[in-house]
Structure 1
Amino acid sequence: MRTQKDRMVNQKLYIADDTELRQARKRAKMLIRKFNETDEEHEKDRLQLIKKLFQDTGENCYIEPPFRADYGFNISVGENFYANYDCIFIDVAPIKIGNHVLFGPRVGLYTAGHPIDPVIRNQGFEYGKSISIGDNVWIGGNVVINPGVTIGSNVVIGSGSIVTHNIPSDVVAVGNPCHVLRKINADDQKD
């Protein structure tokens, strides 16, 4: 791997204080600033800015401002994605979100990590571990998803949860640390 960006994207130790990465963060901040300054009369402009920022999006993608991200180019979202206010995506590693996913306000996806060893950390090294979220997922407000987590499909994550490990498909999960509360079942189809 030749560049710090290559190392970052490939989830290796890297140094963020690098010309190419500084320029990428600057580009992202400019697009995000423009996005966050739009109003409800400019939904098409918002979508175009998100499409410039993200690696990939479905046609129906709606994010309520304000929104924050580090780079944007590491973020992919599927069809019918919705994120409420104040979401933060720290995307030093890939973030992949499936179809029909809903985020409550202040959801944080944090792929970034720092070495535990202080000597290595003080040299400026960082790393990232990807986050993956399946289809048909609802994530409640103020949820934090930590580096390296995979969430399956057909999942509900309760508000305020801190997701530190993988969550399987077809469950309701809650808590700090987030854990499976129960399987989704036929009773959930009733009023």
Structure 2
Amino acid sequence: MDSLELMRSGCWHNGFTNEIFEALIRAEELCFQYNSLSPRQRDSRHDIMRGLIGRIEEPFDIHSPFHCDFGTNITIGPNFVGNYNLTILDEAQVTIGSNVFIGPNVGIYTVIHALDHRQRNEGIMRSKPVTIGDNVWIGAGVTILPGVTIGERAVIGAGSVVTHDIPAGVLAFGNPCKVVRDISDSDTVSDIKE
């Protein structure tokens, strides 16, 4: 196994290798190019994003600035909106479903560093995947930690720290994030003005 495969495997490994470093620099350069372009240069921005992200489906809208560690470990379904300052540390797979809205200043993290300072200083780490289901809304300032799955149709309230799986069809918020209630038909907005 090469160092990138070890990283994605979830086992403890040395993350300070040349191969990992080069992959990080590649992604950082593409993020820099993306974030340097005017939002009016939509075609160029989309070309960069398609070259950065492992798989991304149209339509999508990712506001600048956007940051990721590798990009190649990210899969995004159609009708995605990532608001300002979305950061995805994708040492493991990050799977985002369709019709997902992510608010500003959200961080999605897959990497876990060794607790022992000597090992941490030597680059010992592991990673766990993150999965976000279809039709999920993640509010502003949310932190999603390694190994978490957020079920479809869930809503994560602003400022939450998601430390464990969240089931489908619920409203959850807090630090740590907890299920508050199911989302039901009574949550449907009925007084829409035209």
TM-score normalised to the size of structure 2? 0.95
**What corresponds to 2:182 in structure 1?**
183
Deviation digits for residues 73-100 of structure 1, max 9, x if unmatched?
1111000000000110011111000000
> Once structures 1 and 2 are overlaid, which stretch shifts more, 79-88 or 12-21?
12-21
Structure 2 match to 1:164 = 163
Q: CA deviation at 1:123?
A: 3.1
Cα distance in 1 for residues equivalent to 2:55 and 2:123 = 30
2:84 maps to 85
Structure 2 unpaired stretches of 5+: none
Which letter does structure 1 place at the counterpart of 2:60? Answer: C
C-alpha distance in 2 between matches for 1:167 and 1:44:
35
Alignment of 1:66-81 (within 5 A): 66-81=65-80
Q: What SS does the aligned partner of 1:41 have?
A: coil
TM-score norm. by structure 1 comes to 0.96
Q: What runs of 5+ residues in structure 1 fail to find an aligned partner?
A: none
Deviation at 1:119, TM superposition (A): 4.3
What residue in structure 1 maps to residue 39 of structure 2? Answer: 40
**Structure-to-structure mapping, 1:124-163, within 5 angstroms:** 124-163=123-162
Percent identity over paired residues: 39
CA distance in 2, matches of 1:28, 1:163: 25
Number of residue pairs the alignment of both structures matches: 190
Give the match for residue 65 of structure 1. 64
Cα shift readout 1:35-92 (whole Å, capped 9, x = no counterpart): 0001122111111111100100111111000011111111110000000001100111
Does the CA-based 8 Å contact 2:99-2:135 persist in structure 1? yes
**1:105-135: CA deviations, max 9, x gaps?**
0010011101223443343201111000000
